[in-house]
Amino acid sequence: MFKNNKWMLAVMIGLTTVTLGACGNKNAQTNQGNDPSSAVYEKDHYEVAIDKISAGKLKAAQKELNEIEITDQTPTKVTTLKNNLAELIALKAAINNNDLPVIEPKLQQLAQVQTPKAFVKQYQLAKKDYQTVQLANTYYTEVVKYYQAGKYLAAGGSLQSLDSLNSKLAMVTKLQNDADQYSNRIAQKEYEAARLQNKGAGDINAQNSQILKEQFAKQTGKNIAHASEEEVAQAVKALQNKRVLQAFTKATNVPIEKGDQCFVQSLGNHQYQIEIRHTSDTNQQISNLKGMYRFNTDTKVAQKLNILTGEYQKIS
């Protein structure tokens, strides 16, 4: 009987040990899962942050990264992403506020970041937003200065260019609203200015294209105003270049909207002149110059003509 009791006691001790061991392992796993410094915890928050960055939810991603306690054992990729994300959020805020002194240094700093891909993609989108804000500033300034200088058709073209920009950005919307005060005034003045436009064959934009006039005169020795509709159509076709336009819009973020007519002239050495025209929103017999550009397909550098100074200014 004593032997049986001894045997039973051994079994009970063994079962208790197994049970306690199981509980201990379970508690250890639970504690590990709640430990902010654990590798598993870090990995979960880091991967969730990457997913949120991919979706453009930068502040939500920042919140995820802030859940990770930074220690000496924290992986470098976690601390690096946390710092870079803070800079990107600040960059986007500066773009919305048109804060140029802040934007340029941050753009240069973040341009060096190559991983993770989700972050690089969001940086590229922020860079394009900055290009759009820059264009909005340029177009708005042109609307005001061209109107004040009596260049009403050019002012109308710059107003069209400004209105065609993506207005999801607060600063772009503000500049578009500020320029609205010139809309009716420009429309009234355009009727007077239109009397000076060419009335030859072909559409109104082709008649007034500076590039087309120069190219046609160079090739035929004739004035485009005296050309037939067929001659004008052939001249227009010769100045179309989708490849160059696609490269231009990608590099500059300049929108080409429905109704725009683009004339592309090769200047040699990968350099092209691009003229964008659009009929007036209020009168289809009026041709507005939306912009005269020079673009290098090799370097991707683009410049826009200031019609008051005759100088080309870099925009990309």
What secondary structure does DSSP assign to 44-94, as a single string? HHHHHHHHHHHTT-HHHHHHHHHTSPP-TTS-HHHHHHHHHHHHHHHHHHH
pLDDT given for residue 24 in this prediction: 44
Count how many Cα atoms sit within 13 Å of the Cα of residue 204 in the half-sphere of its side chain.
Answer: 18
pLDDT of residue 265: 97
Per-residue pLDDT, 199: 67
Please state the length of the chain: 316
pLDDT for the residue 196 = 65
State the pTM of this model: 0.80
Q: pLDDT at position 192, please?
A: 75
Q: Which residues contact 134 (CB under 8 A, 6 or more apart)?
A: 315
| Per-residue pLDDT tens over the stretch 3-17 | 445 444 444 445 444
What pLDDT shows up at residue 27? Answer: 43
Q: How far apart are CA 285 and CA 287, in angstroms?
A: 7
Q: Where are the alpha helices (DSSP H) in 180-227?
A: 183-194, 204-208, 210-220
- Regions of the chain with pLDDT less than 50: 1-4, 6-13, 15-34, 36-37
